[in-house]
A and B are shown apart, each in its own frame.
Chain A
Amino acid sequence: QVQLQESGPGLVKPSETLSLTCSVSGGSISSYHWSWIRQPAGKGLEWIGRVYNSGTTKYNPSLKSRVTMSVDTSKNQFSLKLNSVTAADTAVYYCARDFYDVSGWRTVEPWGQGTLVTVSS
């Protein structure tokens, strides 16, 4: 079955760009659509956005101005970039698959294990 693994720097300086990659195994990245979700310590989940296998994107309106997502089919990976970060962007970042069937979106499953990104100088 599909498994996901996040990777990237665990520490990012304020005002810089957070960059994460999600490696997909057990399935082709071209067959599905993919989401990023984050969770600040002790707080709830926040959906960041989705990258479709076509490369088209859909972002959370609250983050849209700072987010870029893309897919790299040659590496079976997809990525997240969040620019102009502040301490409020410190969180565990999860990558996940958006599960669709012939009727459309069904759920978000499975998820990666998550990676902690801290924004600090």
Chain B
Amino acid sequence: QSALTQPASVSGSSGQSITISCTGTSSDIGNYNLVSWYQQHPDKAPKLLIYESSQRPSGVSNHFSGSRSGNTASLTISGLQAEDEADYYCCSYTTSSTVIFGGGTKLTVL
């Protein structure tokens, strides 16, 4: 299974909004509303930000939001803060009952 496609890097100024895309196929994102997004700071385990494409777990800031359309999911971070600088990964359930991750996106807050 090939990794979901994410941009390698994105950047934005403090206070701005950015969107990270995650593109899959009809065997994963296109078939299920089961995309999760994780934030990973250096040398830390990934932290769940979004599940079921747009749901936020308890305790996750509402400046993170997710959406899905067709074979593509998106993570939007509004009001960028310095602490948002991290790597972001999408993942999806697949028609083979496996899980597939994106290659990751490095967010730089200017």
Contacts and interface: CB of A to CB of B under 8 A. Distances in A.
Interface string B40-56: 00000110100110000
A94 B99 contact: no
B91 interface: yes
A11 interface: no
A87 interface: no
B12 interface: no
Contact residue range for chain A? Answer: 20 to 34
A21 interface: no
Contacts of A112: 45
Interface in A71-94: 94
Interface residues of B, number: 23
B56 to A, nearest CB: 12
B98 A60 contact: yes
Given A44-B103, A45-B91, A106-B52, A111 B45 contact: yes
Contacts of A60: 1, 98
A107 B101 contact: no
Given A44-B89, A44-B103, A47-B99, A107 B51 contact: yes
Contacts of B99: 35, 47, 50, 98, 108
Nearest to B87: A44
A45 B92 CA distance: 12
Interface of A: 35, 37, 43-47, 49-50, 58-62, 94, 98-99, 105-114
Given A44-B102, A108-B91, A111-B45, 5 more contacts: A44-B103, A47-B100, A61-B1, A62-B1, A114-B45
